[in-house]
Amino acid sequence: MLAEFGSAFIAAFVTLFIVIDPIMVTPIFATLARHETPQRQRRIALEAAFIAGLLTFFGLAGTFMLHHLGISIEAFRTAGGILLFLMGFRMFFEPDGELEAKKPGPKASARENIAFFPLAIPLMAGPGAIATVMLLMGSPATSLVARGAALTATYAVLLSGVIIMAFAGKIADALGRTGMNVISRLLGMLLMALSTQYIFDGIRVGILEKIAIPA
């Protein structure tokens, strides 16, 4: 049993680490939270990981819920891609938008909780991560040991993300405002490209492949 748990944990951890990619999330976090205090940054990172823990809910009940709502995983991936595209668009064209939203004034009441959006959703708990967890835990043929290993691996990846994001302040100090703006725009372009791929995949699998006429 221990050997099965270990092998399942390693496989799930590697898969989820690649899909969630906390290393990529870190510079985005550093850009969005660069004007926060180090204590506040750590709290935001912890909140993002806690919120992203909803991955376990999708792992346990996601397939059942989407099926009974009549929602395919392809549609879910497409919707997540649209959200990610909007985020990348704002990062590319308005890298200082978060700073403006934090200034006192009429916009103060409309400040966004970056721990929820975009860090937890859709970056850490995006459509790819949700689909991966659902595949690792959602199959009726998956043993309880393998499901427990996948669940543990999910929390381990999220915890590793918090630890990596703890160095975000040092990254911001080293690069400065200009450097962070440059990275913000580059990452915004990358996010738009990634989200476009999500949308393409959702349309291709959800629509084109289903209506394709067999040869």
Total length of the chain: 215
- Per residue in 112-121, pLDDT (tens digit) is 578 998 889 8
CA dist 170 and 56 (Å) reads 31
- Per residue in 161-193, pLDDT (tens digit) is 999 888 877 776 777 777 777 877 887 788 788
Domain parsing of the chain, residue ranges: 44-207
Please tell me the predicted confidence (pLDDT) of residue 97.
58
CA torsion, points 62, 3, 164, 137, in degrees to nearest 10?
A: 0
Percent of the chain whose predicted confidence (pLDDT) is above 90: 17
- Per residue in 35-81, pLDDT (tens digit) is 788 888 899 999 999 999 888 888 788 777 877 888 877 787 788 78
- Is 0.85 surpassed by the pTM of this model? no
Q: What are phi and psi of 4, to 5 degrees?
A: -65, -40
